Each structure stands twice: as structure tokens, then as C-alpha cells.
Amino acid sequence: MDADVVIAGAGPNGLMLASELRLAGVRPIVLERLPERSEVPRANGLVGQVVRMLDRRGLYERLSGRPGPPEPQPGYVFAAMPLHLSGLDNNPVYMLSVPQRRIEEVLQERALELGAEIRRGHEVTGLSQDAEAVTITVDGPDGRYELRTRYLVGADGGHSLTRKLAGIDFPGVTNDATVSRTANAFVPSEYVDPATGVLTIPGYGVISPFMHHRNERGLFVYGPFADRLPVISTGERDVAPDGEMTFAELQESVDRVLGVHLPLTPPEGDGPHLLRRVTGGNSRLAERFREGRVLLVGDAAHVHSAIGGPGLNLGLQDTINLGWKLAAELQGWAPDGLLDTYESERRPVGQRVVMQTQAQSALIAPGNEVTALRELFGELLSEPRNVQRIADLITGADIRYQDGPHPLIGRWAPDLQVDGTRLAELTRTGRPLLLDLTEDGTFAATVSTDRIEVVAGRGESPIALLIRPDGYVAWAADHDGVTEQEGLRTALARWFGVRVDQERPLTSATR
């Protein structure tokens, strides 16, 4: 066997999965068809639960370039309508403004530090599988060769060849009615408030930075990034011209959407500078996320509108969900059906992202009837309860993977502290964690297995949590008791293959 896992694609999702597998003791090979990392500007950052997940893996400070944990944002936007978040009881909107090329750079550094192998200029071009392994045909710089691996994971984007070779359908809808144009561009400095970044356009009015601005003619976004070139974007119901996108085309689109002339200046130098036109869009979800020993993550499994920036939040959490389960399967201790929970947990999340991005796209369309719908929706967003629900939806904070007697079971583990140490500092290893903050620490004292990391101490409230490597709660209790002890035993067996005798300390099972 040449490898335990081969990952097709060295974008953020493939690199993150490689790191998760290495943390769990599996050595993957990452194959990337591009010989060098792309310098073409793409995503501008991360938003949602994944920001806190990166903090729990010790990557947030490396990506943000500043010390300390992430802080929730006071405001965001949904379908070009403001979300006022500062008054929420539990604000889930965390953001990290960093270009995708830097995300890939940091994630590659991390994967290599942990011992992953990355082969650039190597593309998966064929596969076949049997009961034991997948045989992969690879086109590399020195010719074609084969690899035999126990599992293959497609992280190779929306046009995933892995998905196609595995015979997995990709149903959904294509919308050809819209054209978006995006470019690095400067506006006149006298139009911009240097303190707030607010853009005041003569003859039009005020536009807040980074917030989608919609009118009857289309969509306009102004992004004055502090650490890189500013970005201007438009969205219209238009017929795209033939040929390559030009800066003049962007200027004409901006003027059409605003109804006035906003003078734009292109950046100087060789770049690369962002200048992109996208016609239409796809909302698609893989019919299944697994075919035998082939699995899909990220855009290979789901594509949708980029509005609100959900793509990397969704894809990176796919990898964190899959990594420990795939490692458990390879190491022989996975309970029956554990690997199948990757699809049963993550596919519904993909469905919700497709739903909410389609809803946002409908709400930003031009037309009087859409304006009326937006007015009604705006009234609903004046109520904090509705703002909380939308904020949870767009960040993935509403995910609950399983039901249980405790309200935290199946949900993201709260950001607790143990004797002054943040939970994020206790989850850097990617191992299952039993956290016992109860009065007498009974739960921690009864667990004896090297498969589970056990931490006991004092916190803000007496609680005990069994936390999966992806940050979600497998079991929780507020006090000791026979029922709670039995619940812990059940969770340990179900998720981590730890089977115990009622009369003995909890220990690892052998298989």
C-alpha cells in the first residue's frame, strides 16, 4: 500500500484535512495539479464557526498576525441588509480578514510541520477501487504513475474530477441571469472618510464599506482593505460581453448600478490584480459524500453563491469533521458506522448553506417586488430574536449533530475556561477531550484510557463535557449520577470505541 490517504487538491480544504490527519497519526499524501500556489486573488477572509475552530487548533494568531483570541463582530450583512449584532446574547459572527493565498500559505506550513507530504504538479486522472483500496492514476511532471491508497479524498473544487471519476452525481440548479464583476480599483480619496472608510458619492449618497449595497439596478460593494488593494464589485442582471474582462467594463457596470459616474482608477504595477467576471452561478450538492473508499470535501461536495462568504466556513469544517473519523477507521478503533456519520452530519449542513445563499440571492435581485419583500424582511430584522436566528444560520452556529438529554449535546462546545486556561488551548492536539469542572471531578477520575485526553479543574460553572476532536459535544452533565455515568459510557463507546465494564474504570477497547 503506497498511502493510507491520498488527498486530491492542495487548496485550504485539502491542506487542513492533511493537518487533521497528521494530528490523528495518519500520514497523507496531497496531490495538487498546479505546480505552484496560485497568486490569483480569491477569497478575502473567513467568517463563521471556522474562525473559532482555527483558534482551537492554534492557527488563529498565525493567520491574523495578532495575539489573543478572536472577538465577535458588532455588525454584519445578510442579503445586503445590515445585521446589528452587538445586542445579541450570544453573537456567533466571528471574522478573519485575510486573503486566501495567505490562508493557503499558513495551512501548507502547518501541514508540512506536522509531516504531511505535498506533491505539486501531480494530478489525479483516473481511479478504480476494490474492497481493500483505491488505485489512482496520477499524471506528474515525470510522467504517469499509479498510487494505491486505502482512501482517496476529493478536495479538488467545484469541477472535481475525483467526484466525476467516482460516479457521484452533482444535482442542482444553474442561474444564468446575473453577472458579477470584481476588480482591484481606487476611488477618489476625497470621496472616502479616512476614519470610517465610508464612501460618499456625489449625486448618489453614502455607502458603508464592505457592506453589500443593493438598489433597483443591481448590487455594489466597496472593500477598502487596510493590508491590500481595495476591491470594487458589482452584480447585475445583464448579458455578459464576449472576451476577457476589462477595467472599462467594470467602470461601465459601476456607473449603471449607481446611476451616476464614480471615477475609478486601476492599480499600478504588474500585479497580479483582481479583474474577474462571473456569469450566473451554481447551487449544487453532491448526491452523496462517499462512494466506497472515495470521499468528498469542500466545493467538490457543494457549490453555492459566495454571498456572505460561507464557502471556506463550510469546507474547512467538512475537513475537521472528517479527519478524526477517517483516522479512527484507518487505525482500527472506529465504532461501526462512525465514518458514515461524516455524510449524515455534513450533507444537511451543506443543504442549509445552499438554501440560505439562494434566499440571499433572491433578496438582492432588482425589481419593485423584491424591494417590497426587503422592506418586510427589514422589519423582521428589527427584532433581536430574528437577528440571532439569521446570525446562527449564516455562521453554522445552529448546527446540532445529535439530540440528547443535555442541551449542549450535539452542539459546538462553549468557550469555557479551566483554571484560567481557555478551552481553545486544550484542544490543540485534536484529540477527544473529557473536560470535568464538577465539584468532585468524579467523571475524570473514572476514565482511564490514552485515547481520551482528560482535564479536570474549576470553571465558571460545574459541568462535564466529552468533546469530539471537531469541537462538538458528544456528552454533557451538570452533576454526577448513575444516569450521567451511563450516558458517558454510551458516548465513549459510540464515538471513540471505548467499551467498559460497569465495575471497572473506563478503558480503551481492543479490536
Whether residue 115 sits in one domain with residue 20: yes
CATH assignment of the domain containing 130: 3.50.50.60
Q: Is residue 511 part of a domain?
A: no
Quick one: cell of 263? 471615477
Q: Is the pLDDT of residue 106 over 90?
A: yes
Where is the domain boundary, 246, 281, 316?
Answer: 281
pLDDT reading at 504 higher than 60: no
State pLDDT tens for residues 43-66: 778 999 999 999 999 999 999 999
Question: Looking up cell 478536495, which residue turns up?
Answer: 155
Q: Are residues 233 and 370 in the same domain?
A: no
Are residues 105 and 3 part of one domain?
yes
Query: Is 504 inside a domain boundary?
Result: no
pLDDT in tens, 179-204: 999 999 999 999 999 999 999 999 99
Do residues 194 and 304 make contact, with C-beta atoms less than 8 angstroms apart?
no
Q: Quickly state the pLDDT bin for 367 (edges 50, 70, 90).
A: confident
Q: For residue 268, give the C-alpha cell.
A: 499600478
In a domain, 405, yes or no: no
Going along 16-64, which residue ranges are E strands?
28-32, 45-47
pLDDT digits (tens, 9 = 90+) for 113-166: 999 999 999 999 999 999 999 999 999 999 999 999 999 999 999 999 999 999
pTM, entire model: 0.91
Residue 4, CB-side half-sphere exposure with 13 Å CA sphere: 18
Any domain includes 508: no
Residue in 431, 504, 424, 493 with CA at minimum distance from that of residue 53: 424
All cell numbers assigned to 476: 454533557
Same domain as 266, residue 208 = yes
Q: 36 by DSSP, 3-state: which?
A: coil
Ramachandran class of 479: left when φ > 0, alpha when ψ lies in -120 to 50, beta otherwise: beta
Q: How many CB atoms lie within 10 A of CB 384?
A: 14
CA atoms within 13 A on the CB side of 193: 11
Average confidence (pLDDT) over 350-366:
93
Please, which residues have CB within 8 angstroms of residue 56's CB and are 6 or more apart in sequence? 423, 424, 427, 428, 471
Around Cβ 303, how many Cβ atoms within 10 Å? 24
From 266, 281, 296, give the residue that closes a domain: 281
Q: DSSP code of 241? A: P
Q: Do residue 225 and residue 79 come from a single domain?
A: no
Is the domain of 18 the same as that of 166?
Answer: yes
User: 3-state secondary structure string, 92-152?
Assistant: CCEEEECCHHHHHHHHHHHHHHCCCEEEECCEEEEEEECCCCEEEEEEECCEEEEEEEEEE
Q: Of 229, 250, 281, which closes a domain? A: 281
Q: In angstroms, how far apart are the furthest CA atoms of the chain? A: 79
State residue 508's pLDDT score.
42
Count up the domains in the chain and report the number.
4
Give me 168's grid cell. Answer: 457521484
Residue 210 counted as domain residue: yes
CATH number at residue 487: 3.40.30.120
Contact by Cβ (8 Å): 33, 140: no
What per-residue confidence (pLDDT) applies to 507?
46
Q: Are 339 and 508 in contact (CB under 8 A)?
A: no
**Strand ranges, E, within 292-349:** 294-296, 302-303
Instruction: Report if residue 510 sits inside a domain.
Output: no
61: left (phi over 0), alpha (psi -120 to 50) or beta: alpha
Same domain for 181 and 250? yes
Main-chain dihedrals φ then ψ at residue 251, nearest 5 degrees: -55, -45
* Residues 53 and 119 both lie in one domain: no
- Distance (Å, whole) CA 465 – CA 483: 15
pLDDT digits (tens, 9 = 90+) for 303-337: 998 888 899 999 999 999 999 999 999 999 999 99
Range(s) of the domain holding residue 432: 411-496
Tell me the residue type at 70. P
Single-letter code of the amino acid located at 285: L
Determine the number of helices (DSSP H) and then strands (DSSP E) in the chain.
13, 26
CA–CA separation, 1 vs 150, rounded Å?
8
Residue with cell 422592506: 375
Question: Does 252 lie in the same domain as 184?
Answer: yes
- Is there a single domain that holds both residue 430 and residue 488? yes
Identify whether 378 is part of a domain: yes
Task: Supply the pLDDT for residue 501.
Answer: 56
Residues 186, 292: one domain?
Answer: no
List pLDDT tens digits, range 229-285: 999 999 998 777 888 999 999 999 999 999 999 999 999 988 789 999 988 888 999
Residues 227 and 247 placed together within one structural domain of the fold: yes
Whole-number Å distance between alpha carbons of 470 and 98: 23
Q: Which residues pair with 205 in a beta bridge?
A: 201
